[in-house]
Amino acid sequence: MIIGIDHIVLTVRSLDVTCEFYARVLGFRRSDVQGQPTGLHFGQQKINVHETGRTFDPKAVHPTPGSADVCFITEQSIEEVCCHLKECNVEVEVGPISRTGARGEMTSVYFRDPDNNLIEVASY
């Protein structure tokens, strides 16, 4: 019945800090449309970004900054990702490390965004 994920929602402390981080570190593209959540676009997906106290309905019962744990897939090597993270002054928390993803074996690196969400970038 389900074939994919269209978008997820992150609740954050600062819209601008979060959007700058995801644009600079992961190359996401920000979009702002009046009356809609700010979007961070990548590939054929997006993240809707809700700022604490300025969320959109319907929403999770207890939207909380720092509660997400998400994995993004890259076509770059994990070594390239690690070099880029270092250039962006982003501290790698774990990795590179072997993991099993939805499509099988992959190599991952973990770090935190400005709200301490756990971000995994993986390469198959």
2 pLDDT more than 80: no
Q: With bands split at pLDDT 50, 70 and 90, how would you rate the model's confidence at 4?
A: confident
Q: With bands split at pLDDT 50, 70 and 90, how would you rate the model's confidence at 61?
A: confident
What's this model's pTM, rounded to 2 decimal places?
Answer: 0.91
Q: Is residue 55 part of a domain?
A: yes
Rounded to the nearest angstrom, the gap between the alpha carbon of residue 111 and the centroid of all alpha carbons in its chain is 10
- C-alpha–C-alpha distance, residues 16 and 89, integer Å: 18
Buried b (16+ CB within 10 A) or exposed e, 87-103: eeebebeebbeebeeee
Averaged pLDDT, 25-32: 97
Q: With bands split at pLDDT 50, 70 and 90, how would you rate the model's confidence at 71?
A: very high
Nearest CA to 11 out of 77, 69, 55, 75 is that of 55
Q: Is residue 15 part of a domain?
A: yes
The total number of structural domains in the chain stands at: 1
Q: Is residue 2 part of a domain?
A: no
| Catalytic residue annotation | 120
Q: Starting at the edge strand that comes first in sequence, how are the strands of the sheet with 45-51 ordered? A: 7-12, 45-51, 38-42, 29-31
Q: With bands split at pLDDT 50, 70 and 90, how would you rate the model's confidence at 49?
A: very high
Which helix (H) or strand (E) segment is 19 a member of? helix 15-26
CATH code where residue 58 lies = 3.10.180.10
Q: Is residue 1 part of a domain?
A: no
pLDDT digits (tens, 9 = 90+) for 79-116: 999 999 999 999 999 999 999 999 999 999 999 999 99
Q: Is residue 118 part of a domain?
A: yes
Contact 32, 23 (CB under 8 A): no
Domain carrying residue 38: 7-123
